[in-house]
Amino acid sequence: MTEPDEHVRWQQYRHTLSEAAAAEEMAVVSEVLADPDTAMASSVVVAHVDVRAAALLRESDYVAWASRISDAAKDHPLVVQRVLEWSPYREITIGLPWTAETLVAASDWLQRKVSEDSSSPEALAVLATSGHTRRIRNAAFGRN
């Protein structure tokens, strides 16, 4: 069975983004987001954001990168939202100031990410009592 065209393009875009040098990354992001299948294009860029944000989390150029990719994706709310979700995760992870209110109001994705990956006892305690779902609360409770 042959993959539908969008699956082939998704894989090609994913590979191209993973191979892009930092200097050409935003041009490639813009090219991908120009694809007529906006759902597929946003999906592949969100996957790229997850990989790059995780890699840059502790780096000094993270904030500049997040700003550049948000600008490149300004007409793609799903991508911009994911970039924004990485900021509180970064704050929690590297020990920058953050608020419980921000974490409680965060998306399920961010709460799940923190509950499964964070080593912050404070963040895990917040999610153990105030996570959106039972899965989030249990994961945070079990790791705290």
pLDDT at 2 over 80: no
Structure tokens at 112: 């799940």
6 band by pLDDT with thresholds 50, 70 and 90: confident
Nearest to 139 by CA among 129, 85, 89, 92: 129
**17-37 average pLDDT score:** 96
pLDDT at 4 over 80: no
pLDDT at 76 over 90: yes
pLDDT in tens, 82-128: 999 999 999 999 999 999 999 999 999 999 999 999 999 999 999 99
The ranges assigned to domains in the chain are 1-96, 99-144
Share of the chain above pLDDT 90, in %: 94
pLDDT at 1 over 60: no
CA torsion sign for 113, 34, 32, 67 is: negative
pTM above 0.75, yes or no: yes
Q: End-to-end CA distance of the chain: give it in Å, rounded.
A: 46
How far, in Å, are 16, 99, 116 from residue 11 at the CA level? 9, 38, 27
**6-24 average pLDDT score:** 95
What is residue 97's DSSP assignment?
Answer: -
pLDDT in tens, 43-68: 999 999 999 999 999 999 999 999 99
Chain mean position to CA 130: 22
